[in-house]
Amino acid sequence: MDPVLAVLAVFAALMLAGLGIRLIYIARAEPRKRMLHAYSQQVGLALVPEIVPELSTRIYRRERAGVVGSMVGLVPGVALLVLTDGSQNPWNGLVVLVAMTVGSTVALIGNDSRSAFAPVAEVPRLARSTSPGLADYVTPLDRAFSLGLLGLATLGYATVLGVIAINPERVFDDVSVRTILWPAGLLLALAAAASLVTWAAANALLGRGQPAGTYIQLAWSDAFRSTTLRSLVGIPGIIAAVSSCVLFLSLSEAINRPARGSIGEILVGSFTIMGPVLFVALLSWSLTSMRNRNTTHYLRRLWPETAVELDRHRARGAVDDQPDADNRTKTSA
C-alpha cells in the first residue's frame, strides 16, 4: 500500500473516531449546559429560565449538526484525493480540512434553516415594522474580507497560470503541474460557486419571518440568525484562502533546487511567502470574527439599549452578569 495513502487512511480514521467521541460527549447534560452558557456569553444575551430548555435543545442540535457535517465532509474529501492522485502532494491534504469545514458549516446552516422555515402556529406574536437586512447581522469587515480573499485568490491563480505558461528558464519542466493546479483550481471554483449560493441562501433566510411571543425570544432568534449568516458569509473566503495556500505552498515545494539568483529561486521565495501570508490573513480574520464586537453586532443594530447595557457591564468586569434583552426599544435596519 502506498505510504501516503496509509497515512491518509490513518488520519481519516482518527478524525472519525475523535468526532464520534465528541458526538457522544455533547449528548450529556453537563456539556450541553456549558455550551449554552458559552453561547449566551458570546452573543451577549441573558439565559431566561422559561426558555432555557428550548435554547439548550437548539444549541445541542447545532453542535450535533456541526460534528455530523464534519464527518460527512471528511469522506468525500479523502475520496477526492485518492481518486485524483491528489494525495501525492502533502499540501493537498488541506482539501480534506476544507471539505470538513464546508460540511460542518452546511450542516449548521441546514439545522438553523429548518427552524426558520418550519410551519408557524397560529398564535399571537411580535412583529417588526421593517425587516432586518444582512448588514444588521454581519459586520462590513466580515462581508468585505470574505469577498476580498476570493478576489485575491482568483488573481493569484491567474498569475500562476501566466507564469507557468511563460515557463521562465524552464523551471516548470520537471513539475507535475496538473497535480498542483487541480486541487487549487477546484477549491477556487467551489469558492466562486459558494459566493453565489450563500448570497441566495442568505436572502432566502432573511425573507423568512421570526415568530416570537416575547422580546427575549425575538432577541435570541436574532442571535441564532446572526450566527448562521456570519457562517454563510465566511464560506467563500475560507475556501478561497485555502485554495491559494495549497497552490503557493505546493509550487514552492515542487520546484527542485533552483540555482542561486535564478528566476526559479525568486519564484520559490515568492510562493513560500505567499502561502503563510494568506494563512495568517485567514487566521486573523477568523479570530477577529469571533470577537464580541462582531458576535454582538446584531445587538448594536437591532437592540441598541441592550448593547449599551452589555458594554456597561463588561466595562465593569461583570462577565457573568449579563443584561436583560427584554427591552422594548430597538432600531430598524
> 19, 67 in Cβ contact below 8 A?
yes
Residue with more model confidence, 131 or 23: 23
Model pLDDT for residues 224-276, shown as the tens digit of each residue: 999 889 888 888 988 888 888 888 877 777 666 555 656 656 666 666 677 67
pLDDT in tens, 269-281: 666 677 677 777 7
Whether 202 is in a domain gets the answer: yes
Residue 331 is predicted with a pLDDT of 38
The residue to which cell 476570493 is assigned: 150
CA distance 307 to 136: 13
Numbers of helices and strands, H then E, in the chain: 11, 0
51-99 pLDDT tens trace: 899 899 989 999 999 999 999 999 888 887 777 665 566 666 777 887 8
Name the grid cell of 260. Answer: 542561486
User: Is the pLDDT reported for residue 2 higher than 70?
Assistant: no
Query: Is the predicted pLDDT of residue 112 greater than 90, yes or no?
Result: no
Q: Is the pLDDT of residue 329 over 60?
A: no
64 in a structural domain: yes
The whole-number average pLDDT for the span 17-26 is 94
Q: Residue 303 has which C-alpha cell?
A: 437592540
Greater confidence, 203 or 333? 203
Among the ranges given (140-144, 197-201, 207-211, 325-329), the one the predictor scored with the smallest mean pLDDT: 325-329
The pLDDT value recorded for residue 48 is 86
Q: In this model, does residue 319 exceed pLDDT 50?
A: no
Residue 115 has pLDDT above 80, yes or no: no
- List C-alpha distances in Å: 310 to 118, 144, 159, 307: 31, 27, 47, 5
Q: What one-character-per-residue DSSP string does 51-66 give?
A: GHHHHHHHHHHHHHHH
Containing H/E element for 139? none
322 in a domain, yes or no? Answer: no
User: Is residue 235 within 8 Å of residue 198, measured between CB atoms?
Assistant: yes
Q: What's the pLDDT score for residue 33?
A: 92
Q: What is the pLDDT of residue 196?
A: 92
Residue 289 is predicted with a pLDDT of 65
257 in a structural domain: yes
Q: Is residue 329 part of a domain?
A: no
Average the pLDDT over 157-177 and give the result: 76
Find the range with the poorest average confidence among 15-29, 132-146, 161-175. 161-175
Distance CA 228, CA 106 (A): 10
Which has the higher per-residue pLDDT, 83 or 27?
27
Nearest to 46 by CA among 202, 189, 219: 219
CB 211 within 8 A of CB 286: no
Residue 42 within a domain? yes
- What pLDDT is recorded for position 193? 93
pLDDT at 305 over 80: yes
pLDDT computed for residue 10 by the predictor? 85
Domain count, the chain: 1
Structural domain includes residue 333: no
The least confident of 209-213, 314-318, 326-330 is 326-330
| Residue 124 included in any domain | no
Q: Which amino acid makes up residue 285?
A: W
Residue 299 has pLDDT above 60, yes or no: yes
Of 194 and 284, the one with more pLDDT: 194
Average pLDDT, the chain: 79
- Selected residue with higher pLDDT from 71 and 166: 71
Domain containing 167 equals: 3-117+132-315
Mean pLDDT of 302-312: 84
